[in-house]
Structure 1
Amino acid sequence: MTATSPAPAALLAVRNLSKTYRVGHGQRLTAVDGISLSVMPGEMLGLVGESGCGKSTLGRCMLRLTDISAGQVMFEGRDITTLSERRLRPLRPRMQMVFQDSSACLNPRRRVGDLLAEPLRVHPGPDGRRRPAADIDRRMRDLMDLVSLPASALARYPHEFSGGQRQRINIARALALSPRLVVADEPVSALDVSVQAQIVNLFADLQARLGLTYVFVAHDLAVVRQVSTRVAVMYLGAIVEIGPTDSVLHHPVHPYTAALTAAVPRPMVGARPPPPLGGDIPSPVNRPAGCRFHTRCPYAQDRCREDEPALRPIRPGHEAACHFPLATS
Structure 2
Amino acid sequence: MPETRPAAATPLLSATDLRKTYALPHGRTLHAVDGVSIDVMPGEVLGLVGESGCGKSTLGRSLIRLAEPSSGRIVFDGRDITTLPERTLRPLRQQMQMVFQDSYASLNPRRRIGDLLAEPLRVHKKPGGQKWTSAAIAARQTELMDLVGLGHQALERYPHEFSGGQRQRINIARALALSPRLIVADEPVSALDVSVQAQIVNLFADLQDHLGLTYVFVAHDLAVVRQISTRVAVMYLGAIVEIGETDAVLHRPAHPYTLALTQAVPRPVPGEHRPTPLRGDVPSPISRPAGCRFHTRCPIAQDRCKVEEPALRTIGPGQDVACHYPNHWAD
TM-score computed with the length of structure 1 as normaliser: 0.95
Offset, 1:326? 1.2
Q: Distance in 2 between matches of 1:298 and 1:267?
A: 25
Structure 1 residues 264 and 157, CA gap change in structure 2 (3 angstroms) = same
Offset, 1:274? 5.8
Match of 1:186? 187
Q: How big is each residue's C-alpha offset from its partner over 1:78-122, in whole Å with a ceiling of 9 and x where there is no partner?
A: 000001111110001100000001111111111000000010111
Local SS of the residue matching 2:18: strand
Match of 1:14? 15
Q: Do the aligned residues in 1 keep the contact of 2:8 with 2:41 (CA within 8 Å)?
A: no
Offset, 1:132? 1.2
Match of 2:295? 294
Structure 1's consecutive aligned runs of 4 or more residues displaced over 3 angstroms after TM superposition are: 271-275
Matching of residues 91-102 of structure 1 within 5 Å: 91-102=92-103
Matching of residues 25-104 of structure 1 within 5 Å: 25-104=26-105
Amino acid at match of 2:127: P
Q: Distance in 2 between matches of 1:7 and 1:128?
A: 29
Q: Do the aligned residues in 1 keep the contact of 2:264 with 2:275 (CA within 8 Å)?
A: no
Q: Distance in 2 between matches of 1:60 and 1:34?
A: 15
Identical aligned residues as a percent: 72
Matching of residues 182-261 of structure 1 within 5 Å: 182-261=183-262
Structure 1 residues 79 and 273, CA gap change in structure 2 (3 angstroms) = farther
Confirm whether residue 108 of structure 1 aligns to residue 105 of structure 2.
Answer: no
Q: Distance in 1 between matches of 2:275 and 2:235?
A: 19
Q: Distance in 1 between matches of 2:327 and 2:273?
A: 13
C-alpha RMSD of the superposition: 1.8
Q: Do the aligned residues in 2 keep the contact of 1:258 with 1:274 (CA within 8 Å)?
A: no
Q: Distance in 1 between matches of 2:273 and 2:320?
A: 23
Q: Do the aligned residues in 2 keep the contact of 1:112 with 1:154 (CA within 8 Å)?
A: yes
Offset, 1:126? 2.2
Amino acid at match of 2:90: R
Task: Point out where structure 1 has 5 or more consecutive residues left out of the alignment.
Answer: 1-5
Local SS of the residue matching 1:313: strand
Q: Distance in 2 between matches of 1:126 and 1:18?
A: 32
Match of 1:307? 308
Q: Do the aligned residues in 2 keep the contact of 1:200 with 1:227 (CA within 8 Å)?
A: yes
Q: Distance in 1 between matches of 2:273 and 2:235?
A: 24
Q: How big is each residue's C-alpha offset from its partner over 1:128-177, in whole Å with a ceiling of 9 and x where there is no partner?
A: 11111111111111100100001100010110000000000000000000
Amino acid at match of 1:227: I
Offset, 1:222? 0.7
Local SS of the residue matching 1:286: coil
Confirm whether residue 124 of structure 1 aligns to residue 122 of structure 2.
Answer: no
Amino acid at match of 1:41: P
Q: Do the aligned residues in 2 keep the contact of 1:16 with 1:34 (CA within 8 Å)?
A: yes
Q: Do the aligned residues in 1 keep the contact of 2:74 with 2:82 (CA within 8 Å)?
A: yes
Q: Distance in 1 between matches of 2:299 and 2:25?
A: 33
Q: Distance in 2 between matches of 1:275 and 1:51?
A: 19
Confirm whether residue 163 of structure 1 aligns to residue 193 of structure 2.
Answer: no
TM-score computed with the length of structure 2 as normaliser: 0.95
Q: Do the aligned residues in 2 keep the contact of 1:14 with 1:71 (CA within 8 Å)?
A: yes
Q: Distance in 1 between matches of 2:108 and 2:8?
A: 44
Q: Distance in 2 between matches of 1:204 and 1:41?
A: 15
